[in-house]
Amino acid sequence: DSGVTQTPKHLITATGQRVTLRCSPRSGDLSVYWYQQSLDQGLQFLIQYYNGEERAKGNILERFSAQQFPDLHSELNLSSLELGDSALYFCASSAPLGPDTQYFGPGTRLTVL
């Protein structure tokens, strides 16, 4: 158990819908990262937050957005869902003093029908 929690574990929804994925980092970690794992794209970095502020952005679609709240949990919002958004979404967190080691949550499996 990495100490990073993600909910829900599985999500099945229809095209055009909007969903929210939630992540709680390890105790004491200030950075939260979101990654997408799909069969055709592999593991891709989406976005990073540090203590509530956006720190780095990857190839995140405009339909996707994220935020980190004062209690440091983070949410990834996916809207106008398409079939191709079906993937495993991971959240990771790392200690305050640098990128160092990222510890991953169990992931949320999103299926868009």
Partner 1 sequence: AQTVTQSQPEMSVQEAETVTLSCTYDTSESDYYLFWYKQPPSRQMILVIRQEAYKQQNATENRFSVNFQKAAKSFSLKISDSQLGDAAMYFCAYVHAGGTSYGKLTFGQGTILTVHP
Q: Which residues bind partner 1 (CB under 8 A)?
A: 2, 31, 33, 35, 42-45, 48, 50, 55-56, 58, 88, 90, 92, 94, 98-104, 106-107, 109
Q: Minimum Å distance from CB 37 to partner 1?
A: 8
- Per-residue 3-state assignment (H helix, E strand, C coil) for 68-96: ECCCCCEEEEECCCCHHHCEEEEEEEECC
Exposure string for 62-77, b = 16+ CB within 10 A, e = fewer: eebebebeeebebbbe
For partner 1, the closer CB: 73 or 109: 109
Residue 73 or 104 having the CB closest to partner 1 = 104
Least distance from partner 1 to the Cβ atom of residue 86, Å: 14
Least distance in Å: CB of 33 to partner 1? 6
Give me the least distance between CB of 68 and partner 1, in Å please.
Answer: 13
Quote the tokens at residue 50.
Answer: 């540090």
Q: Residues 74, 25: contact at Cβ < 8 Å?
A: yes
